[in-house]
Copies of this chain bind each other. A is one copy, B any other.
Amino acid sequence: MRYIDAFNHFFPKQLWDKMLQADGAAKDIGHRMRGIPCIYDLDERFRVMDQFGDYTQVLSLGMPPLESLGAPAETEEYARLGNDGMAELVAKHPDRFAGFIASLPMNSDNAAAEAERAFKNLGANGLQIHTNVNGRALDHPDFFPVFEMAERYGKPVLLHPSRGASMPDYADEEKSHYEIWWTFGWPYETSAAMARLVFSGMMDRLPDLKVLAHHLGAMVPYFEGRVGPGMDQLGKRTTDEDLGEVLKRLKKRPFDYFKDFYADTAVFGSRAATVCGLDFYGADKVLFASDSPFDPERGPGYIRDTIKVLESIDMPQAEREKISYRNAQDFFGLKRD
């Protein structure tokens, strides 16, 4: 089977070098990621990819969100270096990299302009946007031009979780949260961002916008009962504002908007989650993705596990092809060969 990996992470050399020379957050990230050669070393990358036959990647930057790395002038430069570097990789290695997802300096007024440059000049296949912008929710009007730009160019937005303002901060226990912010906080953040896109009316204003929620739609499939009959009761649990008005403003039932999202298979090899997520989104909305190289083996683990899970699930061949690569071709606007 052919596989196009829709969500996995890499730093192009020009950005990687810049990060290591920088001060503060960017340098810290660089030093931490040094233990994962597959995220910056192209030879290691190819060695990992060689294990998987007809397998190509749509590249995106690794965490963290660029906007967390400095003032706008700085994050604009990171975005340019990153996006230029990605475009070069795709141009130079079309047999390896089927496309790339641009990253934006979301703390800058020029974020939408960088999106346009990436689409027009670099052929970017989508935008990676983190689930909050330094703690600000994605439905803030400042960010609307970015989503509008994606819709105008017919390119998708891929939501990547980020450590946000929603993490536990128990008064008596300030340290050692056991990385709960990663295990459960990230899917929570993604789900909260999805809800805000829905309830703010963004999906009504931009009906052709395609949004993918990383990690098989975060919490939505397992909590479809909350998203469905639960959210139908919006406002019943709240006394201080009339949330019933929010429901009236929307054109559809909340549940139906959540069904409009796309999702990917990056659930670290969980078969049960894959079955559950496929049940919710359907074979037209789910794209194969591995989240490589963030597996314990630093590269091949989740690619191999995810393929194995998909192979273990009985489904018609046409659906299997959609999930494995055809949906990615449509979603990203890749050329077919």
- The reply to whether the CB of A222 lies closer than 8 angstroms to some CB of chain B is yes
Find chain B residues with CB under 8 A from A164 CB: 168
Interface string of A292-306 (1 = CB under 8 A from B): 000110000110000
Q: Given A165-B170, A171-B136, A272-B280, are A219 and B221 neighbors across the interface (CB < 8 Å)?
A: no
Interface string of A24-66 (1 = CB under 8 A from B): 0000100010010000000000000000000000000000000
Our pick among B140, B167, B182, B246 for the contact of A166 (Cβ within 8 Å) is: B167
Report yes or no: B165 in contact with A171, Cβ–Cβ below 8 A. Answer: yes
Report yes or no: A272 in contact with B224, Cβ–Cβ below 8 A. Answer: yes
- The reply to whether the CB of A69 lies closer than 8 angstroms to some CB of chain B is no
Our pick among B35, B136, B225, B275 for the contact of A173 (Cβ within 8 Å) is: B136
How far, in whole Å, are A181 and B61 apart by their CA atoms in the complex?
30
Q: Given A225-B267, A273-B222, A276-B273, are A170 and B132 neighbors across the interface (CB < 8 Å)?
A: yes
Find chain B residues with CB under 8 A from A279 CB: 271-272
Q: Given A166-B168, A167-B166, A176-B243, are A183 and B230 neighbors across the interface (CB < 8 Å)?
A: yes
Q: Given A268-B228, A275-B272, are A195 and B183 neighbors across the interface (CB < 8 Å)?
A: yes
Report yes or no: B168 in contact with A243, Cβ–Cβ below 8 A. Answer: no
Report yes or no: B222 in contact with A221, Cβ–Cβ below 8 A. Answer: yes
Sorting the interface of chain A by its residue count into under 10, 10 to 19, 20 to 34 or 35 or more gives 35 or more
Find chain B residues with CB under 8 A from A94 CB: none
Find chain B residues with CB under 8 A from A270 CB: 222-225, 228
Report yes or no: B180 in contact with A195, Cβ–Cβ below 8 A. Answer: yes
- Residues A109-142 near B (CB distance < 8 A): 132, 135-137, 139-140
- The reply to whether the CB of A179 lies closer than 8 angstroms to some CB of chain B is yes
Of A71-79, A95-103, A184-192, A203-211, the one contacting chain B is: A184-192
Q: Which 7 residue pairs of A and B lie closest in terms of their CB atoms, listed nearest first?
A: A225-B268, A222-B222, A272-B279, A276-B276, A188-B188, A166-B168, A225-B270
